Amino acid sequence: MKISSSGGLTAIAALALALTAACAPADSDGDSNDASTSAASSLADCQVDDLPLLKDGTLTVATDDPAFDPWFSDDDPSNGKGFESAVAYAVADKLGFAKDDVTWVKAGFNQVIQPGKKNFDFDINQFSISEDRKKAVDFSSPYYAAAQAIITLDSSPFKDAKTLDELKDAKLGAQVGTTSLQAVNEQIKPSTKALVYDDTTKAVQALQNKQVDAIVADLPSAYYLTAAEIDGGTIVGQFQPETGDQEEFGLLLAKGSKLTPCVSAAVDALADDGTLKQLEDEWLDQATDVPELK
């Protein structure tokens, strides 16, 4: 199934509606609210002065370093440009924070998904929601759904692969701790053990140095990498992880955080009022002509 802006957000909105209905306060007469009213009711209980924040009056948001397009722009999360930067500020706004009340900190991807105390209120960094990760951290309602993509060079013998089976003999690479790496190991199952990298930059370098035949990343990142980072790079195709119909990204919080319900309510409200779709259309604007690999 090919991913599109409308298709991805339809899935998100449906799940957001279910999550909101499950956690929102019930009406006294027993009638259920529509999605927008439920989200608003939940947010009404989330006043800035009452939120369990790392620092009073300030929303501390984390992401990785460097911060890549199209998720962020100019490696500056605080400028509000790029999909995830814009989403973070939209969540902050729903929770009652002005832009100047948001502080950004850096946090490595692999470190953040481990259990333990966090130096932020939430982290936004293309974290795929999974049952295994939920054992160590909390996730908000999903704000985006994405497919995985295979990236290689124009000179690669694997550039014309039509199926995942045709990639079994390829030497593949992916970032540590990601759904991309899990998809390589569980779906492609290459004959040579996949190479694992600390971040996308190192994976790209390995591809350019021909240490790997291809790397795997989410589709929006693949568009950016082949357009701006990889000389002679091409997207072989896309595929959906077997763990669900679509890979969904959520804001990450410390396990058991009392802030999680309010952050989820904010994301739900952004799905309900169309903001998430508007931001996706503005910052991701994905083409839909990438073939699906079976």
Tokens of 204: 């790209």
Percent of the chain, pLDDT > 90? 69
- Overall pTM > 0.75: no
Q: Are 267 and 88 in contact (CB under 8 A)?
A: no
Task: Tell me the three state secondary structure of residue 98.
Answer: coil
Residue pLDDT, tens place only, 269-292: 999 999 999 999 899 865 557 899
Whether the predicted pLDDT of 106 surpasses 80? yes
Residue pLDDT, tens place only, 162-174: 999 999 999 999 9
Q: How far apart, in whole angstroms, are the C-alpha atoms of residue 139 and residue 70? A: 22
Q: HSE of 133 in the Cβ direction (CA atoms, 13 Å)?
A: 24
Q: How far apart, in whole angstroms, are the C-alpha atoms of residue 120 and residue 142? A: 19
Q: Are 3 and 248 in contact (CB under 8 A)?
A: no
Q: How far apart, in whole angstroms, are the C-alpha atoms of residue 253 and residue 261? A: 11
> Residue 202: CB partners within 8 Å, gap ≥ 6?
none
Mean pLDDT confidence for 145-159 = 95
> Residue 135: CB partners within 8 Å, gap ≥ 6?
115
- pLDDT for position 37: 52
